[in-house]
Amino acid sequence: MTTFKFTLAGVYLSLAMTPALAEEARTFDIPAQPLSSAVNSLSQQSGLHVFYADSAVQGRESAAVNGTYTPKQALSQMLSGSGVQAVSTADDTVALKATAPAFIKTAAEASEGETLPKVTVEADAVNQAYDPDWERDTRNPSYNRSHSTSATKTDAAIMDTPVSVQVVPKKIIDDQQAYDVKEALKNVSGVQLSTSSVDYVNFVIRGFEANASTYKNGFRQDSFAEET
């Protein structure tokens, strides 16, 4: 069943409205919004009676009205592009009728025109392990590393290095919640905490003291402080 609505901006204002008052220009500032709520807002501000069926305004958007207009001029501006036409039935009364089907956007259509955040996509056609940037990428979830520039001072692969090299990636440090170097290395095979110093944390690597073999940011350290 079709229902009809009309907007009333106050009984006393409506009854006292004269033809001259109906054509009096005034300032409107009504943003674009669903057509039904926009028409109601216009009626409340101007006292213009607007009759319409729900089906005539459903799924339709209004145009913004910003400026000085008579009530009917403001309504005409509001209806532009909506597929709805206003028909005057009296000086202070109009009826709305649809002249074109309402276009209801789907979710995909509603998202058109929106600017999405920038997304950077990186990939290797063969294997990510051969992408040098992927080794240092903080998003790399792997525990394995094929290269270690800090240990060898070169970009040689660990498999091509004739010494034992073990790497503790950021992912392991995060997962173990290590808060210092001692915690980060506690699960590395062949590395033990040295008890030879009270003030510093030193390491024994495969039975040898590593006091002079520790580097920080590429520089050799005489001793390795616990808080480093």
Rounded to an integer, the average pLDDT of 57-78 is: 89
CATH of the domain at 206: 2.170.130.10
Buried/exposed 194-208: b ≥16 CB within 10 Å, e otherwise: eeeeeebbbbbbeee
Residue 119 lies in a domain: no
Chain CA centroid to CA 176, Å: 30
pTM check: above 0.85: no
Statement to judge: residues 162 and 77 lie in one domain: no
Statement to judge: residues 95 and 171 lie in one domain: no
pLDDT tens for each residue of 3-42: 445 444 333 333 344 555 557 888 899 999 998 899 999 8
d(CA 22, CA 148): 82
Residue 112 lies in a domain: no
Statement to judge: residues 35 and 84 lie in one domain: yes
Statement to judge: residues 8 and 85 lie in one domain: yes
Q: Identify the pLDDT of residue 8.
A: 40
Band (143; pLDDT cuts 50, 70, 90) = confident
| Total of domains in the chain | 2
Domain housing 200: 128-221
Hey, which bits of the chain come out as E strands? 4-6, 26-30, 49-53, 65-69, 84-90, 93-98, 191-194, 202-205, 208-209, 214-216, 219-221
CATH of the domain at 60: 3.55.50.30
Statement to judge: residues 81 and 172 lie in one domain: no
Q: Identify the pLDDT of residue 14.
A: 37
**pLDDT at residue 207 is higher than 70:** yes
Q: Identify the pLDDT of residue 117.
A: 80
Which of 49, 69, 104 represents a domain boundary (last residue)? 104
Q: Chain-wide mean pLDDT for the chain?
A: 73
Q: Identify the pLDDT of residue 209.
A: 76
- Per cent of the chain over pLDDT 90 is 4
| Strand partners of residue 147 | 157
Q: Identify the pLDDT of residue 100.
A: 72
**pLDDT at residue 125 is higher than 70:** no
Statement to judge: residues 213 and 142 lie in one domain: yes
Chain CA centroid to CA 92, Å: 46
Q: Which SS3 state, helix, strand or coil, does residue 107 take?
A: helix
Rounded to an integer, the average pLDDT of 167-193 is: 83
Rounded to an integer, the average pLDDT of 128-156 is: 67
Residue 82 lies in a domain: yes
Residue 123 lies in a domain: no
Residue 10 lies in a domain: yes
